[in-house]
């Protein structure tokens, strides 16, 4: 039994610390290549591993003032990588029937930080400053304006599950008949607010993060943009199931028993019509913090009597926050398209106090090509989301 509603995910447009070309990204993903260089750009005097994007980004100087942000420059590059699918879409679907849903947490806050630094505590803000850049809906408006779209357009900000929920929202827009296609995904850029905010929680590691290790001591942060064209069509890679829950246990700490996470995964399985034994790969939220990894290991083993192969790709890219859900959905898309499993990078010292998980520790072609993947995104406030992707026979 499988989901009766078709929801096709196009080849994604992605930019992250691994690159912006899918071939380059796939090579790093399946070989476990980390891109987390040390930088004190946001924490002077304290160098931290950061998944910064080194790719040249589009020039924003000629854009409308409200659109000039690093977040939108990341999105513009992701859109450029998505251009074949976009060209085909715009040729056959009216612009008023195409929606936009973007997940983010920072939007253009980095540009506001720069403006305040330039003006000082008492000076006037620079003439080219635009507060609208940091409004959470700004990335969605940018995508719609850049493509001339007139359908539903909005942003979601549920911290680290934002863009996973954006993809879930895209599926609902299609199923309800409000749209014939949706551009969906997420973007987040590094800034002082984010890096120092997580540092103030003692949540960042001074070393490359070690998800599920006995020695894990925090996250690494990163930035990214990842976009899909989502359509109600069969074939290819399908977003077959979505699961969402809000356990509201604590403003930042996860619910220790993982019940909200279990609920999200169970919903995704039920919608897609699959059993736990049908999943070939699980992309873990896997931040590398003591509480998150403990909760997720408990949740996965509570739901799966025999868990599937799994890994945390945040050890390669850093935690890209509002972009993470869409970025890791893109990694699952590559997993299905290439028949490979993303490598889990850590020190090899699995925490014996955690429920055991079958981490992907060797860069090998699996004996059975993966056909169904599950991707977890668990956020502050207990905002949980799971996405189930499947590869159809005619892909």
Other Cβ atoms less than 10 A from the Cβ of 369: the count is: 13
Q: Where are the beta strands (DSSP E) in 309-355?
A: 309-311
93 vs 112, 150, 277, 325, CA distance in Å? 37, 11, 38, 27
User: What is the maximum span of the chain, computed from C-alpha positions, in angstroms?
Assistant: 64
Alpha helices (runs of H) in 176-218, residue ranges in sequence order: 192-200
Assign 3-state DSSP to the chain and report helix, strand, coil percentages, each to 5: 35, 20, 45
Name the CA radius of gyration of the chain, rounded.
20
Query: CA-CA distance, 127 to 302, in Å (whole number)?
Result: 56
Which positions are annotated as active-site residues? 160, 285, 319
Q: Which two tokens stand for residue 222?
A: 């990163």
Other Cβ atoms less than 10 A from the Cβ of 55: the count is: 14
Q: Are 325 and 164 in contact (CB under 8 A)?
A: yes
Query: CA-CA distance, 271 to 291, in Å (whole number)?
Result: 29
Query: CA-CA distance, 32 to 360, in Å (whole number)?
Result: 10
Other Cβ atoms less than 10 A from the Cβ of 196: the count is: 14
Q: Which two tokens stand for residue 170?
A: 């895209």
Q: Are 79 and 161 in contact (CB under 8 A)?
A: no
Task: Name, in order, each residue with C-beta under 8 angstroms of 172's C-beta and a sequence gap of 6 or more.
Answer: none
Q: Is the dihedral of CA 35, 41, 44, 45 positive or negative?
A: positive
Alpha helices (runs of H) in 70-191, residue ranges in sequence order: 70-81, 83-92, 109-119, 138-147, 162-175
Q: Are 370 and 280 in contact (CB under 8 A)?
A: yes
């Amino acid at each position: 039994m499988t989901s009766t509603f078709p929801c096709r995910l196009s080849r994604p447009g992605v930019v992250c610390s691994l690159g912006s070309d899918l071939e380059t990204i796939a090579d790093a993903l399946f070989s476990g290549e980390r891109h987390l260089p040390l930088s004190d750009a946001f924490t002077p005097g304290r160098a931290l591993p950061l998944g910064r994007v080194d790719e040249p980004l589009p020039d924003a100087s000629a854009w409308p003032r409200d659109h000039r942000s690093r977040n939108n420059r990341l999105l513009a590059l992701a859109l450029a990588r998505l251009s074949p699918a976009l060209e085909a879409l715009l040729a056959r679907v009216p612009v008023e029937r195409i929606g936009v849903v973007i997940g983010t947490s920072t939007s253009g806050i980095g540009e506001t930080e720069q403006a305040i630094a330039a003006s000082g505590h008492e000076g006037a803000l620079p003439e080219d400053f635009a507060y609208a850049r940091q409004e959470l809906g700004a990335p969605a408006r940018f995508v719609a304006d850049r493509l001339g779209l007139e359908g539903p357009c909005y942003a979601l900000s549920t911290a680290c599950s934002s863009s996973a929920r954006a993809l879930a929202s895209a599926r609902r827009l299609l199923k309800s008949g409000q749209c014939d296609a949706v551009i969906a995904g997420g973007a987040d850029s590094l800034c002082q607010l984010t890096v120092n905010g997580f540092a103030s929680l003692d949540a960042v590691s001074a070393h490359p993060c070690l998800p599920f290790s006995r020695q894990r001591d925090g996250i690494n942060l990163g930035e990214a943009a990842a976009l899909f064209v989502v359509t109600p069509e069969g074939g290819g890679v399908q977003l077959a199931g979505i699961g969402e829950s809000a356990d509201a246990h604590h403003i930042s700490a996860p619910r220790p028993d993982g019940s909200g996470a279990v609920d999200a995964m169970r919903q995704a399985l039920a919608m897609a019509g699959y059993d736990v034994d049908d999943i070939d790969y699980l992309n873990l939220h896997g931040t590398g913090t003591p509480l998150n990894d403990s909760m997720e290991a408990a949740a996965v083993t509570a739901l799966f009597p025999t868990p599937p192969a799994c890994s945390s790709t945040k050890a390669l890219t850093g935690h890209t926050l509002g972009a993470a859900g869409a970025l890791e959905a893109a990694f699952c898309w590559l997993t299905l398209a290439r028949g490979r499993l993303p490598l889990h990078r850590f020190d090899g010292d699995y925490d014996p106090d955690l429920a055991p998980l079958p981490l992907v520790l060797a860069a090998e072609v699996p004996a059975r090509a993966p056909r169904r993947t599950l991707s977890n995104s668990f956020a502050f406030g207990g905002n949980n989301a799971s996405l189930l992707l499947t590869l159809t026979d005619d892909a």
